[in-house]
Structure 1
Amino acid sequence: MRLPYVPDPPPTSTPEEAEILARVQARRGERGLLPLDRALLHSFPIANGWNTLFGAVRTQTSLSADIRELAICRVAAINGAWFEWEHHAPLLREAGMSEEGMRIIEDPKITGSEEEEGDVVGKVLNRAQRAVLRYTDAMTKTVQVPDEIFQELKECFSDKEVVEVTATVAVYNCCSRFLVALDVGEKNR
C-alpha cells in the first residue's frame, strides 16, 4: 500500500464518522475490515459513499451471481487488480464457473469473438455470459461500446438488467483503479 492503512478500527472524531464506520463494519460482517476499507477510511465521506454504492451493486441487483461475478472478475483481470480478483474469483467459482471458464475470464487477450480459436469461448460460456464478457471488455478497454456488442447484451437481458450490468462494470472499474493506484493489498503493481 502506498499509504499507511488506518488502524482497525480507526478512531472516529464525530458521531457521523462513528455511524459511517458502523455501516462499513456491518457490511463486512465477521470478515472485519478489508485492506480496501482501511484505505478508504482515510476519508469517512468517501468510505460512506463507496460502502453504499458497492453494497447496492453487490447485494441489491437482480443479476445472477455468475453474471455479476463474471463482470467483476473480468474487470479485475483486464486492469491487473489482483486484490479484486482474489476476492471475487472464489465467488464466481461458487456460482458455477468451470476452471476453463475461469481461465478465459482471467485472460484479457481472449475476446469472445466467434472467429477466435474455433469459438472456444462459446463452448464454455453461455450466451448471456459471453455477452457480458464482450460488453465488459468494451466498457473497460475502450469505454465506447460498439452497437453489435450492446445489441448482444440487450438480447440476453431486460432493460433493468442492462443497467445493472453496466453499473457493475463501471463501479468495479472504479474499484480496480483505486486498488491499483494505491496498491491496496500489495498485489496490484
Structure 2
Amino acid sequence: MRIPYAPTEPADPTPENQAIYDRIRERRKPRPLIPLDLALLHNPEIADGYNKLMGAVRTKISLSQALAELAICYIAVLNDATYEWTAHAPLALKAGAKREALEAVLKGDVKSADVLSEDEMMVLAFTEQSTRNIKIDDELFAKIKVRFSDQEVMELTITVAGYNMVSRFLVALDVTESNGKRMVMPQ
C-alpha cells in the first residue's frame, strides 16, 4: 500500500473509536479486519460511515444480489481494480451469477445476448455509462425504469456509485498491492 495500514486497534482508544472498530469487526465476522478496513481506519469516523453505507449496499437491497455483484465486478474491470474483482467475483458466483456471465464481464463482452440475460445487459450498460460518463442516457434509463422498481433503480445507482468510490480508493492507495496484477476467474 502507498501509505502504511492503520493499526488493528485504535491509535486513539477513546470509547467512540473502540466502538467504531467493534462495529467494523462485527460486520466482518468471522473474518478479521481486512486491508480495506485498515486503510480506511486512518480516520475512524470515515471508516464508520463507509462501513454503514457499504454494509447496507451489500446486504440490505432488494435488487438481485447476482445483478449487483455483476455490476460491482464490471466496475472492477472498467477501473482496473484487481482487489475489488478478487473480492467480488466469488461473491457474484455465490449470489447466483452464471460463470459464463462473469467471464463475459471479465472480458468486457457485456453485449452478448448469447451469454447474458436482458436484465444483465441493461445493468451492465447502466454500470458502464455511470462509470465512464456519469450520466445515464435517457433511452437506457427509461428501459431500466420499466424493468425495475424505483427502489431497485435507486439501489442499482448507489451500488454503482458506491463501488466506483471503492475502486478509486483501492487503486489510488494500492490496497493489498494488487495494482497491475491480472484479474482471474475464481475457481
Q: TM-score, normalised by structure 1?
A: 0.90
Give the whole-Å Cα distance in 2 for the aligned partners of 1:98 and 1:56.
24
TM-fit CA distance, 1:81: 0.8
- 1:15-30 aligned at under 5 Å gives the runs 15-30=15-30
Give the whole-Å Cα distance in 2 for the aligned partners of 1:13 and 1:91.
34
Q: Which runs of 4+ in 1 moved over 4 A?
A: none
Number of residue pairs the alignment of both structures matches = 180
Question: Which residue does 1:155 correspond to in 2?
Answer: 146
**Retained in 1: the 8 A contact 2:69–2:88?**
yes
**Retained in 2: the 8 A contact 1:138–1:144?**
yes
Give the whole-Å Cα distance in 2 for the aligned partners of 1:18 and 1:44.
9
Question: Which residue does 1:168 correspond to in 2?
Answer: 159
Distance 1:66 1:158, change over 3 A: same
Alignment partner of 2:119 out of 114, 118, 128: 128
Give the whole-Å Cα distance in 1 for the aligned partners of 2:88 and 2:12.
30
Unpaired stretches in structure 2, ≥5 consecutive residues: 181-187
Question: Which residue does 2:43 correspond to in 1?
Answer: 43
Give the whole-Å Cα distance in 1 for the aligned partners of 2:114 and 2:10.
48
Unpaired stretches in structure 1, ≥5 consecutive residues: 113-120
Give the whole-Å Cα distance in 2 for the aligned partners of 1:151 and 1:122.
20
Amino acid at match of 1:122: A
Give the whole-Å Cα distance in 2 for the aligned partners of 1:85 and 1:100.
16
Amino acid at match of 1:43: N
- 1:18-167 aligned at under 5 Å gives the runs 18-108=18-108, 110-112=109-111, 121-167=112-158
Amino acid at match of 2:40: L
**Retained in 2: the 8 A contact 1:79–1:177?**
yes
Give the whole-Å Cα distance in 1 for the aligned partners of 2:30 and 2:9.
14
Give the whole-Å Cα distance in 2 for the aligned partners of 1:32 and 1:162.
33
**Retained in 2: the 8 A contact 1:77–1:105?**
yes
**Retained in 2: the 8 A contact 1:75–1:176?**
yes
Q: TM-score, normalised by structure 2?
A: 0.91
User: Going by fraction, where is helix more abundant, 1 or 2?
Assistant: 1
Identity percentage of aligned residues:
47
Give the whole-Å Cα distance in 1 for the aligned partners of 2:53 and 2:154.
14
**Retained in 2: the 8 A contact 1:127–1:156?**
no
Output one character per residue of 1:110-157: Cα deviation in whole Å (capped at 9) or x when no partner.
352xxxxxxxx2121211111100000000011111111112211220
Output one character per residue of 1:35-87: Cα deviation in whole Å (capped at 9) or x when no partner.
00000001111101100110110111111211110111111110011111111
Give the whole-Å Cα distance in 2 for the aligned partners of 1:76 and 1:15.
36
- 1:170-189 aligned at under 5 Å gives the runs 170-189=161-180
